[in-house]
Amino acid sequence: MNAIAQAAATVANPITCTLDFEQDGVQHGFLKLPYSRDDSAWGAVMIPLTVVRNGNGPTALLTGGNHGDEYEGPVALSKLAQQLQPEQVNGRVIIVPFMNTPAFQAGTRTSPIDRGNLNRSFPGRPDGSVTEKIADYFRRTLLPLADIVLDIHSGGRTLDFLPFAACHVLPDKAQQARCEAGMQAFAAPYSMRMLELDAQAMYDTAAEEQGKVFITTELGGGGTSTAKSVALAERGVRNVLIHAGILAGEVEQGETTLLDMPDGDCFIASEHDGLLEMCRDLGETVSQGEVIARIHDIRRTGSAPVEYRARRDGLLAARHFPGLVQCGDTLAVIADVLA
């Protein structure tokens, strides 16, 4: 641990919780983060949360709105917070539907306060920016309470995904097996062993480094949700809670296709600005060398488009969503089909 990290570890986080995590029953309240600004000198960022507890069973930490333009998690978890009763629960469920509340309220991936991407801000800092303070509180206060963590994502405004639950390849194979079991219990149409291009500052990594069972999802995209994607989220949340022994009942099984993202060749990134023409659709099988997308010049007519080709055989699992792209954007992700 470097000197800066050591100093931060001794600083108390300014976030306070209006709830008692050890109290049985249903509680609705806030994580309160002081935030002085032009329109509220002694104001605060108020992050809603619900705690449902009944006895000393396992704890599930359920989060949505890690990115503010992804909606399946916020909808499904808001409904769960309204409906879940203590007599249904063995243990404790901590529900945070709008994890990065400033970003969620703005409908943006990152916070309008400090442009912080919460899922790239861990381990966070108690004396840092608003986003870093939220990350630090989750790492030092909420994650240690949890046995199993479910963080619900979709593609937001700039990506669209096949609906999948995911886990990561981990050095601890016993921990990875527990995460894979949770991923399978979610019972999404697809299950992904996911490669992250940069996992160093992610919520996922913070949870996994604490030995937690961590499950995430990508359930659609385009900056909206659908009836089908919300239903998948609701069923998946219930399945994970049953799998963890927190809710009674049987996991509602569904057919799932196991996918893998083993290396960087899965990702096709744009090296041009322009108009995107997708040549294959989500869920279609593609072959190495096949044209996946074309980018057309929007500054002049008569120019041939640039073609982007698959670097592997597989299934088109993700695609860029808006019709215009810029250099550096991910155009497509091609996953291996394992089973």
- Give the pLDDT confidence of 2-21 residue by residue, as tens digits: 555 565 668 999 999 999 99
Q: What pLDDT is attached to residue 195?
A: 73
Contact call for residues 99 and 149 (beta carbons, < 8 A): no
pTM score of the predicted model: 0.94
Which of 60, 82, 62, 64 lies closest to 72 in space, CA to CA?
A: 64
- Give the pLDDT confidence of 225-236 residue by residue, as tens digits: 999 999 999 999
Q: How far apart are CA 64 and CA 66, in angstroms?
A: 6
Phi and psi at residue 208, to the nearest 5°: -65, -35
Using DSSP, state whether 143 is helix, strand or coil.
helix
Query: Is the confidence at residue 107, as pLDDT, over 70?
Result: yes
How deeply is 89 buried, as exposed, middle or buried, from its count of CB atoms within 10 A (0-12, 13-18, 19+)?
buried
Q: What pLDDT is attached to residue 144?
A: 98
Which of 153, 108, 114, 120 lies closest to 33 in space, CA to CA?
A: 114
Phi and psi at residue 291, to the nearest 5°: -70, 120
Phi and psi at residue 184, to the nearest 5°: -65, -35
Look at 83-92, 182-191, 192-201, 228-237 and tell me which has the smallest mean pLDDT. 192-201
